[in-house]
Structure 1
Amino acid sequence: MSAEAATPWQKNLDRLGLTLPAVVPPVAAYIPAVRTGSLVYTSGQLPFVDGQLSATGKAGAEVSLEQAAEAARLCALNALAAVHDLVGLDNVVRIVKVVGFVASAPGFSDQPLVINGASEFLGEVFGDAGVHARSAVGVSELPRNTPVEVELIAEVR
């Protein structure tokens, strides 16, 4: 895509040195994203890069805060891929809500800082339209021993 034809979200991904990955195939009985009315809900996305998890283990133990925040960023990128595959990111009006789950070692309480990886990334991609409501939840285990899972809701045209 030429720079002149690129939309703002595409220019921002280019600036960040990122491209939208292929949608991660479901690992159970669900679909990556579903639209109802003007909203797209994504399923929880894991930090897959080329079919491999970027990290495994619990935040605050095997996974540092910084590694977990980067994993949250990758989860958000994968969620955007699911939205794009369904409706195209050009149709995103705003990111409405992000829910992040952090597999946490005992005593780890920086879940909001981990999920900032996703939230700040969405702001970098969409500007003010990327600012959203959010939950950051600590859990004992996540699928495939991933440290982070992120889902989002986007308002679309």
Structure 2
Amino acid sequence: MAAPIPQGDYRPAVLHDGVVYTAGMTPRRDGELVLRGVVGSAVSAQEAYAAAGIAAENALAAVRSVSTGATYIRCLRMTVYIACAGSFHDLSAVADGASAVLAAALGRDGLPARAAIGVQSLPSGAPVEVDLIAAVR
């Protein structure tokens, strides 16, 4: 899977001294959002879980795009931003969709420390956005 094409003036990922920092990744396939809306309103927690998984796939693709030749990827930190209604509190359950993708790709030992943060809105109306920091060698 190729790294997503940036939607603005930035790079999908930057490698510095063995650490990769990704841009915020939304649930896009072929440059198009697969889901828009606010979690707990127009978007269900289950839909957001799946969308977080797609965003994490994009983040992992961005890591791989700048670490060609690396034989080791260790995710260190992941932040999952969730555009949600004020009454929605199952942020960790949505973020688990991103964690599940990383665990499937890298094993349970590949899981990073994680934060799940509720926000009012995200770029292009995305329900979730994931950024990832990973060590590579």
Band of TM-score, shorter chain: over 0.9
CA RMSD of superposed structures (Å) = 1.3
Which structure 1 residue ranges, 5 or more long, are not aligned? 1-19
Paired-residue identity, %: 41
2:116 aligned counterpart, secondary structure: strand
Which structure 2 residue ranges, 5 or more long, are not aligned? none
Q: Distance in 1 between matches of 2:31 and 2:74?
A: 28
TM-aligned CA distance change 1:119 to 1:101, over 3 Å: same
The equivalent of 2:21 in structure 1 is 41
Q: TM-score, normalised by structure 2?
A: 0.94
**1:89, distance to aligned residue in structure 2 (A):** 7.6
**1:29, distance to aligned residue in structure 2 (A):** 2.0
Q: TM-score, normalised by structure 1?
A: 0.83
Of 2, 6, 30, the residue aligned with 2:10 is 30
Q: How many residues align?
A: 137
Higher RCO, 1 or 2 (CA under 8 Å, sep at least 6)? 2
Say whether residues 1:98 and 2:81 are aligned partners. no
Higher mean displacement: 41-50 or 120-129: 120-129
For the 8 Å contact 1:95–1:129, the answer to whether it is kept is no
The equivalent of 2:95 in structure 1 is 115
Q: Distance in 2 between matches of 1:42 and 1:91?
A: 18
For the 8 Å contact 1:80–1:89, the answer to whether it is kept is no
The equivalent of 2:45 in structure 1 is 65
For the 8 Å contact 1:83–1:89, the answer to whether it is kept is no
Of 120, 124, 130, the residue aligned with 1:150 is 130
